[in-house]
Structure 1
Amino acid sequence: MLTRRKLLASTPALAVAVATPAAAVCTMPTSEPDAELLRLGAEFERQYEAWKPYWRTMHAMGETWQEFARSGRFADFMDAWRTPEGDAYEAAIETNNEKLTRLDELAKRIRAIPPSTLAGLMVHARVCRFDCLPLPKLEEAREDWDWDVECLTGFLEHVERMAGSAVQS
């Protein structure tokens, strides 16, 4: 039977990592089994946090566009978002998509590296959450989630919690 003690004793990399978040776990030396995966996980977290404000801006502009569209006032919308540099809504979409593309490329690199430690599994769980659960869904009140979203999120939270606990032990 695999106990937590046996698991920890069998994976020395777990004793080296110092924190639960993937961003903090990247402090492991490069000779550890999941060093590259942990480094990519930390970069993923930084890029994900940097992307969210751009997504929110684009999303808010999109909601405004829908309000103008329902009232048939497309020209008013275009005038509201036009700047000397061009169309601010189009620029918001373009910036969001550029950041999202970089984030997705990083997620692909992470998915290509099989984890060999619980810390690495935690990085994969975080990327799986990004891949499978869109940001708008995660920003809804939890009681409004569909059953599949609730189940997958709960499972990934358990993986992250268990991996994080083992890493800290």
Structure 2
Amino acid sequence: MPNVPIRATGEAAPAVSRRAFLRTSANASAAVVAASGIAVLTSSSQAAEHPDAELVALGIEFDALFAQYKSSTTKAEAASEAFQAARPAPTEGGPAFEAWWADYSVAVDGDWGPSDEWSERVAAVTEKIRALSATTLAGFAVKARTLRFDLAKWGDSPEPMLDWDWDDESLERFVREIEAAGGGRTLA
């Protein structure tokens, strides 16, 4: 990380990257929420006593299903990338590409099956979540988390904002702020 000279002291301080700033901001937001005493709702028993009990319970179910979806999708993407690295697709269409596509389908389609199944299960839960009205920040946090699935943003990748567009980054920051305010959850 490059250092930035500070003229007043004659010293140099590390330059702050946008990623480091956002991570620090998210952690600070989570600390403020934790200090303010907002309850963290992470179990079904805690959720049952909450005004948005059904929504929070669906959020817990969503989180578990979404984790499975991400895992299966990551495995399928790895299989796809491995196949394409070993055997790049022809640049021209026609019979050569059709043969490549047939081989790709045989080799990789089975890896996408679990991802598709988990996607359908997550979609069913997100439909239920969308149908309910949120009345608390915890309920809004559940709805915000589903945006990651609806918009294919994973949010908790090791470096989620490295290559994202500004709209993606803004959405992720919004979701994290709602999560922090609604239940103390933060992915930063």
User: Cα offset for 1:141?
Assistant: 4.7
Larger Rg: 2
Structure 1 residues 63 and 139: alpha-carbon distance in aligned structure 2, compared to 1, 3 A threshold: farther
Unaligned runs of 5+ in 2: 1-36, 91-95
**Are 1:19 and 2:40 an aligned pair?**
yes
Superposed displacement of residue 103, structure 1: 0.6
Q: Alignment length, in residue pairs?
A: 141
Give the 3 Å change call, closer, same or farther, for CA 37–64 of structure 1 in structure 2: same
Gaps of 5+ in 1: 1-14
Q: Say yes or no: does 1:53 pair with 2:53.
A: no
> Which residue identity does 2:177 align to in structure 1?
H
Q: In the alignment, is residue 119 of structure 1 matched against residue 138 of structure 2?
A: yes
Distance 1:138 1:132 in 2: 15
Question: Matches of residues 18-167 of structure 1 in structure 2 within 5 Å?
Answer: 18-19=39-40, 24=42, 26-28=44-46, 30=48, 32-67=50-85, 68-70=87-89, 78=103, 87=106, 89-135=108-154, 141-165=160-184
TM-score, normalization by structure 1: 0.68
Deviation >6 Å, runs of 4+:
71-75
Instruction: Measure how far apart 1:130 and its partner are.
Output: 2.1
Secondary structure, aligned partner of 1:28 = helix
Q: CA, structure 1 residues 139+112, in 2 after alignment: closer, same or farther (shift >3 Å)?
A: farther
User: Retained in 2: the 8 A contact 1:26–1:41?
Assistant: no
User: With CA pairs under 8 Å and 6+ residues apart, which has the higher RCO, 1 or 2?
Assistant: 1
Evaluate the alpha carbon distance shift between residue 131 and residue 138 of structure 1 in structure 2; reply closer, same or farther with a 3 A threshold: farther
State the SS of the aligned residue for 1:115: coil
Q: Matched residues, percent identical?
A: 29
SS in structure 2 opposite 1:151?
helix
SS at match of 2:72: helix
What is the SS of the residue equivalent to 1:142? coil
Higher helix share: 1
Specify the code of the residue in structure 1 equivalent to 2:169: E
Using the size of structure 2 for normalisation, the TM-score is 0.62
Shift of 1:18: 4.1
